[in-house]
Chains A and B, each alone.
Chain A
Amino acid sequence: MAEREEVAAGRPPLKRVIELVGVSKVYDTGHVAVRALDDVDLELGAGEYVAIMGPSGSGKSTLMHVLGCLDAPTSGSYFLQGEEVSQYEGRRLAEVRCREVGFVFQQFNLLPRLTAAQNVELPLLYARAPAPRRREIVADMLAKVGLSDRGHHRPNELSGGEIQRVAIARALANDPAIILADEPTGNLDSKSEEELMQLLDGLNDRGRTLVLVTHDDGVARHAKRVITLRDGRVV
């Protein structure tokens, strides 16, 4: 493995958006140590469209959290855009989440007190973008997901599909390296699901790196590459 040697030499490979090297995640529940991820190696290039599949408890969500820098691996290295983010802590990790990763969750994506536009604005606020720039980007992103006229609505006035589209707009706001979507269509009817997948496909067509976690074969078919996990290992 040439890449491993490069890592050993301290020169991470470029053009790879993501590289996991021997990543394990162990949850210590007190009685038993659960190995949610077991020595996972994974490479994702720029512009890839990947679906992560696997049964419940296979480690999909844990992998997602590690990729999204929400959780640090117990051992192994995680390179995002060539930076070893598994070494990062606190403020720098927040910075990475803010600028390099866009998250779309299965549900409860949006803050109920804020309007759609304010939700999209959040990552820009945390990136300390100036107000005129924020307004510009928010309008831009809402237009991209086809919700320009819904910016002033609160989440409880939006349909499930619209909420997920707002979440995608928010994930795109800081122009991140990857979009991570955790069961994005899990709560949607089939028509909304189809619309949402078309939106995601379109993003990938324009070069955006996408990682989906799903157990739905229909959703996984949209991806160009499928990674299957079982008991914390890539099969």
Chain B
Amino acid sequence: MNFLTLFARAVASMRYNKTRSFLTTLGIIIGVTTIIAIVALLKGLDRTIDREFSSLGTKTIYVQKMEFQLGLPRHRGFDEVAKRADLTLGDAAAVAQLPTVRAAVPTINNELDTLTRGVYEADECSLTGVGEGADLTGNWVVSEGRFITAYDLRHRNMVCVLGSYVADNLFAPGDNPLNQMLDVDGHRYLVVGVLEEKGASFGHPQDNQIFIPIDTYLKYYSLPKGRASVFHGLRIEVLPKEGVPVESALANVEELLRRRRGLRYYEDNDFGLNTQESMLSSLNNIRSILWLVMVGVAGISLLVGGIGIMNIMLVSVAERTREIGIRKAVGANEFDILAQFLSEAVALSSVGGAVGIVLGLAAAAFVSAITPLKAVVPWWTVVLGVGFSAVVGIIFGIYPARKASGLNPIEAIRYE
């Protein structure tokens, strides 16, 4: 009896008891659905993260008051971080002098309420004071006009560069914002540049910014104090020189800032040096937790599903004791009986696995449709789903199948 015959017979046997077979496979269905859906969504998340990161400056080091770690200060309490000394324009200037650094740009920003210009409105804009070179560190491309220059900074010019969202919403289509005046928070600026659209990063819009020279900014706004300074304080965006590894620039910046802040050798950094990699690694922590949760959920449901199959197979062996006796009497050997019951267990779990794959793909497609997360289904998830369910069938089918194959034919035939 070849494999196909065995499988066909096993499926026929499943159809004989449709309701029971369905209920038996439910655990496997849930397990495989979970695996497929979560893998698809996590893969989608991975892809989203990769895309989001490429919209940030890839090599930029963000010097901030706190270390980036799952968005919360690492090791220390929030208040302790708030008590740290703020970063200063002097720090930025000193970092800029480092031989490994191409640009060190002080940056600070302020959320604005709705901005209006005549009949036009733009919601949730933010005003960002920057030094020279923020277009480099932030990976911005100027589509029209120019960016903030050293000249603007020195003279505290009342000029601004608009993110595409701001330009699109405050100016009529076809109305070039360049060289027009824009009132922001009670002050009037000349629009000297418009940026290309960059899209959101981690759900955080970026094109809603209005860049002005940081010296102009500091004329009107004070630095945030206390807790607000943790997230919204002055930060320095550092871009290493061309050909310089991020790590060596990082080491130079660290050494310089430790010296400037008077830290002893035994003291920890009281500032954060955040790179794309450190953000990635903290995101990877979340990702590995998600994977562990998935493996746990899927593992438990496959275990429960497997036990369900074993249970039903044991019932089936008991019910069909006489059948086994007759089969043995007409010449089936132990292997034949083993193969028969094992193939039934595998058929049950594989059909459950197949249904689970379909449901998992449907669930992933559903989540993709109603959330920004786009599911990605790698081909190996399907193989994984089928493989897992077949393995569960074999593991949990082997005991009942062995029990069946070991039955004494005479006792089996007499079994009532």
Contact = CB atoms under 8 A, between A and B. Distances in A.
Nearest to A94: B333
B331 A123 contact: yes
Interface string A70-114: 110000000000000000001100110111000101001111110
Nearest to B329: A103
A113 B336 contact: no
Nearest to B330: A123
B329 A97 contact: yes
A128 B1 contact: yes
Interface in B169-221: none
Given A126-B331, A171-B330, 16 more contacts: A65-B410, A68-B329, A70-B413, A94-B333, A94-B336, A103-B330, A105-B326, A108-B413, A110-B326, A112-B323, A113-B12, A122-B332, A125-B5, A126-B327, A126-B333, A174-B331
Given A90-B333, A113-B13, A122 B409 contact: no
Interface string B399-416: 000000000011001000
10 contacts: A70-B328, A70-B409, A70-B413, A94-B333, A94-B334, A105-B413, A111-B326, A122-B330, A126-B1, A127-B331
A165 interface: no
Contacts of A91: 333-335
A110 B413 CA distance: 11
Most chain B beta-carbon contacts within 10 A, residue among A126, A128, A171: A126
A208 interface: no
Interface in B367-410: 409-410
B332 to A, nearest CB: 5
Contact of B329 (A70, A99, A125, A174): A70
Contacts of A109: 326
Contacts of A110: 326
Interface string B72-91: 00000000000000000000
Interface string A166-182: 00001100100000000
Contact of B327 (A71, A111, A128, A171): A111
B380 to A, nearest CB: 36
Interface in A140-170: 170
Interface residues of A, number: 28
A74 to B, nearest CB: 14
B322 interface: yes
Interface in B324-353: 326-336
A125 B334 contact: no
A126 B9 CA distance: 14
Nearest to B331: A98
Contacts of A126: 1, 327, 330-333, 336
Nearest to A120: B330
Nearest to A98: B331
B266 interface: no
Contacts of A123: 330-331
Contacts of B335: 91
B404 to A, nearest CB: 14
A6 B291 CA distance: 74
Nearest to B326: A111
B16 interface: yes
A70 B410 contact: yes
A125 to B, nearest CB: 5
B3 to A, nearest CB: 13
Contact of A99 (B12, B326, B331, B410): B331
Interface in A32-59: none
B16 A113 contact: yes
Interface in A18-43: none
A42 B331 CA distance: 24
Given A65-B410, A108-B322, A94 B1 contact: no
A126 B324 CA distance: 13
A113 B336 CA distance: 18
